[in-house]
Structure 1
Amino acid sequence: MKYVSEFRARDLAEKLAAQIAHEVRPDRTYHLMEFCGGHTHAIFRYGVQDLMPENVKFVHGPGCPVCVLPVRRLDDAVELAEKHGVILCTYGDMMRVPGTKQRSLIRAKADGADIRMIYSTLDALKIARENPDREVVFFAIGFETTTPPTAVAIMQAETEGLENFSVFCNHVLTPAAIGHILESPEVRDLGTVKIDGFLGPSHVSSVIGSEPYEFFAEEFAKPVVIAGFEPLDVMQSTLMLIRQINEGRAEVENEYARVVTREGNLKAQSLVSDVFELRQSFEWRGLGEVPYSALRIRDTHAALDAEKRFTVSEKKSREVKSCECPAILRGVKKPTDCKLFGTVCTPDNPMGSCMVSSEGACAAYWTYGRFRETAKEAEEAAA
């Protein structure tokens, strides 16, 4: 299958592994953060880490928008469904994420709230058409990749005159988060991790292009390589990062050139710009308040903004006690550092978003057996 099987070829993987082993310097350790959870799962599923020299370390970053959504916003969505009686439409991953007191959307649904899992914005619009006497709210969440479909849904609802449809917007932006991980005093107080370079998001970059990372690479002197999701993509991108680090360069390189361009998808960017504008600040789970890192619906489309149509109460939200998901999202800790992982917290009984999301680091560790420490790892941990 074109663009799949050739990026999983064993002989090419062995050659890349040998090249990486040849080019790494034995006197240093390379800490490479993969921002996107799709890369984390590719690394574990295909055993990429096992093909790396011991001094090449992958650091797991924020992962996915489901992982980084703060508990307060989830609590707000539950309140919309329970107290305002709306039909709340959401993607499947959000259903099981625990909010305050482990109250999730699926538990609210079990208690009678009308919460419906959908596969696309088209489903939400269809539900609004079929229920003209009910308020329908689409719980919009995602990085830059899923923002254009939300913009299309808003414009389509306006065209059709769907007055019972609105959007609870939680779209967040990746470049701002990467910069915040490196520079924010708040994040440093919460714990830091050594990062020498980044595997840049691939699907996100297909929309925004590679250009937004250029200022980031120059400002923070950290190399970025836009990487595809297949195992050979990750390995080739790792080699490109190692070469930049060895040569003292901090540039943006594009390994995923078969999909990503420097300028990105200009039509999608224009559509998003017409419908959304930057928020001054937005809370990320694990990162705290991040300036200019999220979008809100413009006043010209305010009639479809659920945050303006409905009022939610000021509430004190909190994480599940002892859950290390915030630290895991910053790359400070691994899932196995959390005492809840694999005991109280499992895919059947998740304590945090990292175990729920299909791109979460905890889900990757569990799915691919990385929670089973080797004897050597156990000795190192005890030392």
Structure 2
Amino acid sequence: MKYVDEFRDATLGRGLARAIAAEVSSHRDYHLMEFCGGHTHAIARHGIPDLLPANVHLIHGPGCPVCVLPIGRIDSAIALALDHGVILCTYGDVLRVPASERRSLLQARAAGADVRMVYSSLDALRIARENPDREVVFFAIGFETTTPPTAAVLRQAKATEVKNFTAFCNHVLTPAAIRGILDSTAPEGTRLDGIIGPSHVSTVIGSRPYEFVAEEYHRPVVIAGFEPLDVMQSILMLIRQINAGQAEVENEFTRAVRRDGNPKAQSLIAEILEPRPAFEWRGLGSIPRSALRINAAYGDFDTERRFSIPYRAVADHKGCECGAILRGTKEPRDCRLFGTACTPENPVGSCMVSSEGACAAHYTYGRHRD
């Protein structure tokens, strides 16, 4: 298959592994964070760590939108479904995320709430049209990749005057999260020498928004595709920059990403959404201007304006290390619950729920058996 098979070629992979081994210096370690959860799964699935020298360390970042959503936002969604009698629509991963007292939206549905899984925001709008006597809430979540569809459905709802539809907006922003990680002053703060930039996010925002990482923090960024050779090539490019003392934004994923991204998608987002002053991230705390909300022009379609939604910050399960894993300061196998009390069938933390979570990747592909 074009753009798949040629990026999984074993001969080329062995050649890249030899090139990386030849480039690394034996006198230093290299700490590279793959921000995107899709990269985390590609790395685990294809056994990329096994092809790298021992002094090249891959660190998992917070690039899983379900994982970084704080417990309090899930609690708010559960309250909406149970107390306001709405039809709550959201993506499948969100349904299983444990909130306070390990409740989930699936459990809320079992208790009588009308919670429905959808595959797109348009599905939620269709449900609103089919149920004109019910309030329908779309639990919108994701990084910049899934933000344009939410903006598009809000525009369509306004244009067609669908009065019983709102969106509970939980879209978050990648560059702000990267800044939050680099600014971390925690005692166990992550050491980063370079960043593997996300793929799908970058098709929307482009490579320009990462330039502050090179200019202000003097760390190189290489935007990579999701295939194993993409990831290995980006690692080689980062190592070469680090060895040369350079800090630039490079684009390995040139077949899909441009410096200015997708202007049409960016314009759509800017028309309907605006930055929040601050937003709480699981594991990272409150980060300024790191999430989006619906602006005043589309305020009639904002769940938070239409309903009184309770919100309070809630601490993670005491035994769960999901926050530290999202910060890159621990690995899944460092959590004493991993693979025992916490499994994909019985998740304790969000990192084990999502298809992009680091714990789910390590468990699914057996990386915990090292």
User: Into which bin does the TM-score normalised by the smaller protein fall?
Assistant: over 0.9
Q: What SS is found at the alignment partner of 2:175?
A: helix
Q: Is the 8 A contact 2:75 2:311 kept in 1?
A: no
- 1:23-57 per-residue CA deviation (whole Å, 9 max, x = no partner) reads 10000010000000111111110111100011111
Structure 1: runs of 5 or more not aligned: 374-383
Q: Is the 8 A contact 1:75 1:317 kept in 2?
A: no
- 1:146-176 per-residue CA deviation (whole Å, 9 max, x = no partner) reads 0000000100001111100000000000001
2:118 corresponds in structure 1 to 118
Q: Structure 2 residue aligned with 1:293, among 261, 265, 290?
A: 290
Q: What SS is found at the alignment partner of 2:168?
A: strand
Q: Is the 8 A contact 2:72 2:311 kept in 1?
A: no
Q: Structure 2 residue aligned with 1:352, among 349, 352, 356?
A: 349
Please state how far the C-alpha of 1:316 moved relative to its aligned partner: 5.4
Please state how far the C-alpha of 1:314 moved relative to its aligned partner: 4.5
Mapping for residues 52-91 of structure 1, pairs under 5 Å: 52-91=52-91
Rounded to whole Å, the distance in 1 between the matches of 2:363 and 2:20 is 27
Please state how far the C-alpha of 1:321 moved relative to its aligned partner: 2.3
Task: Read off the aligned partner of 2:134 and give its amino acid letter.
Answer: R
Rounded to whole Å, the distance in 2 between the matches of 1:140 and 1:278 is 15
Task: Read off the aligned partner of 1:87 and give its amino acid letter.
Answer: I
Rounded to whole Å, the distance in 1 between the matches of 2:53 and 2:65 is 31
1:41 corresponds in structure 2 to 41
Rounded to whole Å, the distance in 2 between the matches of 1:213 and 1:372 is 35
Q: Is the 8 A contact 1:99 1:318 kept in 2?
A: no
Please state how far the C-alpha of 1:320 moved relative to its aligned partner: 1.9
Rounded to whole Å, the distance in 2 between the matches of 1:299 and 1:123 is 24
- 1:181-210 per-residue CA deviation (whole Å, 9 max, x = no partner) reads 01133xx24x31211000001100000000
Rounded to whole Å, the distance in 1 between the matches of 2:316 and 2:366 is 26
2:327 corresponds in structure 1 to 330
Q: Is the 8 A contact 1:210 1:254 kept in 2?
A: yes
- Indicate yes or no: 2:232 matched with 1:235: yes
2:199 corresponds in structure 1 to 202
Q: What SS is found at the alignment partner of 1:12?
A: helix
Rounded to whole Å, the distance in 1 between the matches of 2:222 and 2:268 is 27
1:24 corresponds in structure 2 to 24
Task: Read off the aligned partner of 1:43 and give its amino acid letter.
Answer: I
Q: Is the 8 A contact 1:128 1:162 kept in 2?
A: yes
Q: Structure 1 residue aligned with 2:361, among 352, 356, 364?
A: 364
1:192 corresponds in structure 2 to 189
- Indicate yes or no: 2:247 matched with 1:250: yes
Rounded to whole Å, the distance in 2 between the matches of 1:279 and 1:41 is 30
Q: Is the 8 A contact 1:35 1:201 kept in 2?
A: yes
Q: What SS is found at the alignment partner of 1:162?
A: coil
Rounded to whole Å, the distance in 2 between the matches of 1:253 and 1:225 is 5
Q: What SS is found at the alignment partner of 1:371?
A: helix
- 1:269-300 per-residue CA deviation (whole Å, 9 max, x = no partner) reads 00000000111100000000000100010001
Please state how far the C-alpha of 1:63 moved relative to its aligned partner: 2.7
Q: Structure 1 residue aligned with 2:269, among 249, 272, 280?
A: 272
Rounded to whole Å, the distance in 1 between the matches of 2:2 and 2:104 is 40
Please state how far the C-alpha of 1:215 moved relative to its aligned partner: 1.6
- Indicate yes or no: 2:224 matched with 1:220: no
Q: What SS is found at the alignment partner of 1:109?
A: helix
Percent pairwise identity: 65
1:137 corresponds in structure 2 to 137
Q: Is the 8 A contact 2:71 2:313 kept in 1?
A: no
2:6 corresponds in structure 1 to 6
Task: Read off the aligned partner of 1:3 and give its amino acid letter.
Answer: Y
Task: Read off the aligned partner of 1:299 and give its amino acid letter.
Answer: A
Q: What SS is found at the alignment partner of 1:168?
A: strand
Q: What SS is found at the alignment partner of 2:152?
A: helix
TM-score, scaled relative to structure 2 = 0.99
Name whichever of 60-69 and 4-13 sits farther off.
60-69
Task: Read off the aligned partner of 1:177 and give its amino acid letter.
Answer: A
